[in-house]
Amino acid sequence: EKGGYRHFMLKEIHEQPKAIKDTMTGRIAKDSDAIRLDDIKLTAEDLARFGKIFIVACGTAYHAGLAGKYLIEHLAKIPVEVDVASEFRYRNPLVDEKTLVIIISQSGETLDTFAALKEAKGKGARILSVVNVVGSSIARESHDVLYTWAGPEIAVASTKAYTTQIIALYEIALHMADLKGTLSKEAIKAIKDEMLNLPAKIEKALGNKEEIQKFASKNSGEKDVFFIGRGLDYAVALEGSLKLKEISYIHSDAYAAGELKHGPIALIEEGTVVIALMAQHELYEKMLSNVKEVKARGAYVFAIAKEGNREVETIADQTLYIPEVSDMLSPTVTVIPLQLLAYYMAVEKGCDVDMPRNLAKSVTVE
């Protein structure tokens, strides 16, 4: 049942190229210039009415939502606020008939997320959900559903659900951009073509385990690990940090690299492990400065950069390269080494990877 893999998590990590491909099938095609999202019934008039979009979710799905904010704001030019469901539902959010709420959930059964949906729906919001489990409670209560085709996810730590949620969010953002006319047909086509290449790039990233295993065998005894990144890399850093703490029980935090000086850099001392995400071309130079800052305080830096950006090698203690991919399309590729890193750290420590302590796959209580 684990398909020859030692754990469900490792199997699911390797299923990502296929899961992503399946989530694009019938929606993103080479030969047509449009995005086909037959399941969702948003019109140009609807979009003109929505002054604001909320994305609401928990845990990993929330982290996918943080990336979704960048994508929708960047491509479709609609302001997006992202909130964790347990906060959103109790803070009396400013939601009305002019609001679109995008709910993200793998299981479709997370209690706080479902309650947030009902809260927003009761106030007249239009609900579009991104769900993996067909016919789940969240799917049934939503006005529109865009399914991720990740297949069953068994491991408590979410992997293929995250990457397919991000793909669904590209689809939504592109669909909105198409309806609103914020992107030219050529620009949409260029993004679609690059999306269709993502499975191959992820496959390539999956083949690159040596540096990660080396890192895990050296650092699995660490008490704290810090992740830093900027822009979309910051959203991915949060996910990498959650994955690590969830299955290896190592304390970790993720920071927007520009925030280091505002407090967290006080924690850096000789040997502190910092994982620096450097997959955003536009922010690469800024990240180089941040890496120098933590190195100067004695940090052990593991950098994750794109092929071609080799300068970091001269500063970082270890560097892992991911295949070249544009800044906007990078999260599904950048997260791969972080998933593997969490996995190998947990294996090194002898943790129960698929069933980490204190956690349930689907959180149906408050």
Q: Which residues are catalytic?
A: 361
Choices 106-114, 210-218, 292-300, 330-338 (CB under 6 A): range interacting with ligand M6R:
106-114
Site string for ligand M6R, 245-274 (x = CB under 6 A): -x----------------------------
* Nearer to ligand M6R among residue 99 and residue 105 (C-beta): 105
Does 339 interact with ligand M6R (rule: CB under 6 A)?
A: no
- As given in the structure block, the two tokens for residue 175 are 């669909």
CA 279 to chain centroid, in Å, comes to 14
Vertex 6, ends 346 and 164: CA angle to 5°? 80
Contact between 156 and ligand M6R by CB under 6 A: the answer reads: yes
| DSSP state at residue 265 | G
Told to check if 103 binds ligand M6R by CB under 6 A, we report: no
Q: Residues 128, 143: contact at Cβ < 8 Å?
A: yes
- Taking the least distance from each CB to ligand M6R, the nearer of 137 and 280 is 137
> Per rule CB under 6 A, is residue 142 in the interface with ligand M6R?
no
Q: Quick one: 156 or 312, whose CB is closer to ligand M6R?
A: 156
How many residues in the shown chain lie near ligand M6R by CB under 6 A? 16
- How many angstroms separate the CA atoms of 153 and 161, rounded? 7
157 binds ligand M6R (CB under 6 A): yes
Residue 264: enclosing H or E segment and its boundaries?
A: none
Q: Which of 23, 113, 330, 334 binds ligand M6R (CB under 6 A)?
A: 113
Please state the closest distance from residue 157 (CB atom) to ligand M6R, in A.
4
Contact between 105 and ligand M6R per CB under 6 A: yes
The stretch among 54-62, 120-128, 192-200, 333-341 that binds ligand M6R (CB under 6 A) is 54-62
Partnered with residue 55 across adjacent β-strands are 82, 102
Q: Would you count residue 115 as binding ligand M6R (CB under 6 A)?
A: no
Rounded CA-CA distance 256/93 in Å is: 26
Least gap, CB of 106 to ligand M6R (angstroms): 3
150 vs 305 by CB, closer to ligand M6R: 150
The verdict on 68 binding ligand M6R (CB under 6 A) reads: no
Structure tokens at 57: 């979710």
Burial 269-294 (b: 16+ CB within 10 A, else e): eeebbbbbbbbbeebbeebbebbebb
Which one of the spans 154-162, 179-187, 206-214, 253-261 is the region binding ligand M6R (CB under 6 A)? 154-162
Look up tokens 């979704």; give the residue.
68
Stretch that binds ligand M6R, among 19-27, 156-164, 282-290, 341-349 (CB under 6 A): 156-164
Residue whose CB is less far from ligand M6R, 15 or 178: 15
Decide if residue 111 touches ligand M6R (CB under 6 A): no
- Is residue 156 within 8 A of residue 52, CB to CB? The reply is no
> Do residues 22 and 110 lie in contact, with contact meaning Cβ atoms separated by under 8 Å?
no
Cβ–Cβ under 8 Å, residues 141 and 118 = yes
Q: How far is the CB of 242 from ligand M6R (least distance, A)?
A: 6
Backbone dihedral angles phi then psi of residue 102, each to the nearest 5 degrees: -100, 120
Q: How far apart, in whole angstroms, are the C-alpha atoms of residue 15 and residue 5?
A: 11
Of how many residues is the chain composed? 366
d(C-alpha 235, C-alpha 265), whole Å? 19
Q: For residue 339, give the 3-state DSSP assignment.
A: helix
Task: Select from 107, 137, 142, 252 the one that contacts ligand M6R (CB under 6 A).
Answer: 107
Binding stretches for ligand M6R (CB under 6 A):
58-61, 105-107, 110, 113, 156-158, 242, 246, 362-363
